Chain A
Amino acid sequence: MGGRGEVSVEPEGEGALVVRVSGEWKLEGTVPSADEVRDALVKRSPRRLRFDGAALGEWDSALVTFLASVNDLSRERKIEVDDSGLPDGARRLLRLAEAVPEKPGVRRSAVRASFVERVGTGAVEMVRAERETLDFLGEVTLSLGRFVTGRARVRGQDLLLFVQECGAQALPIVTLISILVGMILAFVGAVQLEKFGAEIYVADLVAIAMVREMGCIMTAIIMAGRTGSGFAAQLGTMKVTQEIDAFATLGISPMEFLVLPRMLALVLMMPLLTIYSDLLGILGGGLVSAGMLDITPFQYITEGKRVLTATNCFAGIGKSVVFGALIAFAGCLRGMQCGKSSSAVGEAATSAVVTSIVLIVVADGIFAVVFNFLHI
């Protein structure tokens, strides 16, 4: 550890002060502040100030910081400074620190914006964000139109890669979550239904809940966390490393080349994953039924088949297509809106998950109202 730096301020003749610095002035040691000098300057109002470093031991930036502070104080009071008594290195560093003056207007004001200003800024920002979202939606729609008419530049190789990423690679986590959700539904249902001797209806509960709601919702939430955030991080990183700019300057639409294959892949894979999730959820429910309620697999399947209708199945699968589009939209939107720093990539990924989940829940609510209205 470093030693201790000391400072003393003494008058020297008419209207002059001498600032003596002594001892060790190291960052790792203990150094005095410039307050003592400030007090002396206020009290004595000198015209000249001289530094004396004759008794100075080892020093580093700690000394230069102190000297720079005293220099600033002297400059404010138009006091002439004589630093010839300081080591050469310290004087050179002081010159260097003062070589480039501060550009006018560059320093940020520390004044906190008023409440009204903050509300106004927030509102303007919200409108800007909404406009960006609508722009993005419009561009996606146009790209999709070009894709449908065979005019979009989508690399088949990329599409297949994303299909693999969104489909096959998501199977393990979808498997685990779906079986567990099915088991939980059956367990909770069994406890209640047992009271009425209606254990067999556990099969109805699990089948309808999985196929209509839980299969698509749980898959969507998994995909939002896994794939939506991944899309945002991939596109965000490409934004930071100017890869997206490179596409744009080559005249290649990032929408067609980057966003469209991701959206198509997720929209294609979501229904398949949902069907897979439905089946595994029902399987999970069956395991609990067989283990806890003595319902045979045959009884469970027969009851499930009886209650499940094509409408129920298509309701869940239809919703999953919409959820897939929303997740891909949110992930790609946040990725393309990403800032130009590494932390912005993380923020984009987080924001993609939050946006996706909000959109999924809102969309599911709308579906519930519409299905109810249509008596589905």
Chain B
Amino acid sequence: MGETHIAVDKVTLAYGERVVLRDLDFEIEKGKVFVLMGGSGCGKSTVMRAMIGLLEPASGTIRYGETSFTGASPEERYRILRSIGVLYQSGALWSSMTLAENVALPLGEFTRLGPKEIQEVAALKLALVGLRGFEDYYPSEISGGMQKRAGLARAIAMDPDVLFLDEPSAGLDPVTSRLLDELILELRDSLGATIVVVTHELASIFTIGDDSVFLDAETRTAIAKGSPKELLEHSQDPKVRRFLTRGKDGKDGERKAEPRV
């Protein structure tokens, strides 16, 4: 195990009285792609929301390096948030701004670069995600896949130490999805960023995942940890096997008959 970048320590997440996940315990290594996986509704995105500060854990701590994010002072919290880039599921581009303006906004706010340099960096980021020439387009004028890539360009605008990607391949065709996976690996290798991916796309999980945690909606906690390939080969948990083999593993993962309601 290399240097730990993010540690999730005995974290319980809840919306009001309703506990979504409890006693989450895992560490994310620096410069690796970590996958938060599990079936629909298991709380993957909720964990990500807690890790990026949009949801306060009911208990437990989340640490970035040695600094606790949970209960951090506003200054510390701000510093950590500055080192984070997030790609939201829908892209979440600001619709009143062009793609270049979307990418340029954080650069203008948080760097001392001049307008020309900001424009050049924004163009570079868009070129990195294959959107060269689309600088002056508005989000409503491009396709969903392009919006997602533009969202990624914005997420990497400030060269973040940690990049969170919420369902990056959802709604994309297989070719675009594969290109996005390659891009994620390239960003990991060239920028040295730690990348946390929320997904249930198996092809992506096996292509990009260095390490992972499997969340279970029934027990409301993490039931397996390790690299996706290792889990596929060695996990004895029927739920994990069923998920990673798309329900084809009849021996271990046979689906039980569910009572009709």
Q: Please choose the segment from B59-67, B132-140, B164-172, B213-221 that sits at the chain A interface, where 4 or more of its residues have CB less than 8 A away.
A: B132-140
- Asked whether, in the complex, the Cβ of A92 is within 8 Å of the Cβ of B186, the reply is yes
Q: How far is the CA of A51 from the CA of B110 in the complex (A)?
A: 29
* Interface positions of A from 51 to 92, Cβ below 8 Å from B: 60-62, 64-65, 68-69, 88-90, 92
- Asked whether, in the complex, the Cβ of A68 is within 8 Å of the Cβ of B124, the reply is yes
- Cβ-defined partner of B140 (8 Å) among A33, A88, A339: A339
CB closest residue in chain B, given A69:
B120
CB closest residue in chain A, given B127:
A97
B residues within 8 A CB of A103?
Answer: 133
- Asked whether, in the complex, the Cβ of B127 is within 8 Å of the Cβ of A100, the reply is yes
A residues within 8 A CB of B113?
Answer: 27, 31, 62
- Asked whether, in the complex, the Cβ of A92 is within 8 Å of the Cβ of B190, the reply is yes
Q: How far is the CA of A90 from the CA of B190 in the complex (A)?
A: 7
- Cβ-defined partner of B95 (8 Å) among A90, A96, A344: A344
Q: A65-B121, A339-B140 are in contact. Are A96 and B183 (CB under 8 A)?
A: yes
- Asked whether, in the complex, the Cβ of A27 is within 8 Å of the Cβ of B190, the reply is no
- Asked whether, in the complex, the Cβ of A100 is within 8 Å of the Cβ of B191, the reply is no
B151-194, CB under 8 A of A: which get 1 and which 0?
00000101100000000000000000000000100100111100
Q: How far is the CA of A30 from the CA of B192 in the complex (A)?
A: 22
- Cβ-defined partner of A102 (8 Å) among B96, B133, B138: B133
Number of interface residues of B (CB under 8 A): 35
Instruction: Tell me if A251 counts as interface (CB < 8 A to partner B).
Output: no
Q: A65-B117, A65-B120 are in contact. Are A60 and B159 (CB under 8 A)?
A: yes
Q: How far is the CA of A344 from the CA of B95 in the complex (A)?
A: 8
- Cβ-defined partner of B125 (8 Å) among A33, A61, A344: A61
Q: A28-B112, A33-B117, A68-B124 are in contact. Are A60 and B191 (CB under 8 A)?
A: yes
- Asked whether, in the complex, the Cβ of A31 is within 8 Å of the Cβ of B117, the reply is yes
State how many angstroms separate the Cβ of A141 from the closest Cβ of chain B.
31
B residues within 8 A CB of A342?
Answer: 95
- Asked whether, in the complex, the Cβ of A97 is within 8 Å of the Cβ of B128, the reply is yes
- Cβ-defined partner of A106 (8 Å) among B96, B133, B189: B133
Q: How far is the CA of A55 from the CA of B137 in the complex (A)?
A: 39
- Asked whether, in the complex, the Cβ of B116 is within 8 Å of the Cβ of A33, the reply is yes
- Asked whether, in the complex, the Cβ of A61 is within 8 Å of the Cβ of B190, the reply is no
Q: A92-B189, A100-B130, A344-B95 are in contact. Are A27 and B124 (CB under 8 A)?
A: no
A100-139, CB under 8 A of B: which get 1 and which 0?
1111001110000000000000000000000000000000
State how many angstroms separate the Cβ of B24 from the closest Cβ of chain A.
32
A residues within 8 A CB of B80?
Answer: none
A residues within 8 A CB of B137?
Answer: 108
A residues within 8 A CB of B73?
Answer: none
- Cβ-defined partner of A65 (8 Å) among B124, B135, B140: B124
Q: How far is the CA of A68 from the CA of B117 in the complex (A)?
A: 12
- Asked whether, in the complex, the Cβ of B124 is within 8 Å of the Cβ of A97, the reply is yes
- Asked whether, in the complex, the Cβ of A344 is within 8 Å of the Cβ of B140, the reply is yes
State how many angstroms separate the Cβ of B136 from the closest Cβ of chain A.
5
Q: A27-B111, A27-B158, A33-B117 are in contact. Are A64 and B134 (CB under 8 A)?
A: no
A residues within 8 A CB of B139?
Answer: 341
Instruction: Tell me if B36 counts as interface (CB < 8 A to partner A).
Output: no
B residues within 8 A CB of A99?
Answer: 130
Q: How far is the CA of A339 from the CA of B159 in the complex (A)?
A: 33
- Cβ-defined partner of B121 (8 Å) among A62, A96, A106, A108: A62
- Asked whether, in the complex, the Cβ of A96 is within 8 Å of the Cβ of B132, the reply is no
A residues within 8 A CB of B95?
Answer: 341-344
Q: A65-B121, A341-B139 are in contact. Are A27 and B159 (CB under 8 A)?
A: yes
Q: A28-B111, A68-B124, A69-B120 are in contact. Are A96 and B133 (CB under 8 A)?
A: no
State how many angstroms separate the Cβ of B110 from the closest Cβ of chain A.
7
> Which 4 A-B pairs rank lowest in CB-CB distance, beginning with the nearest?
A341-B95, A100-B130, A102-B133, A89-B190
Given contacts A30-B112, A98-B127, list 6 more A-B pairs with CB under 8 A.
A27-B113, A27-B121, A28-B112, A31-B117, A102-B133, A340-B140
What are 13 A-B pairs with beta-carbon distances under 8 A? Answer: A27-B107, A27-B111, A27-B158, A28-B111, A33-B116, A61-B125, A65-B124, A68-B127, A89-B189, A93-B186, A97-B132, A339-B140, A344-B140
Chain A residues at the B interface, C-beta cutoff of 8 Å: 27-31, 33, 60-62, 64-65, 68-69, 88-90, 92-93, 96-103, 106-108, 339-344
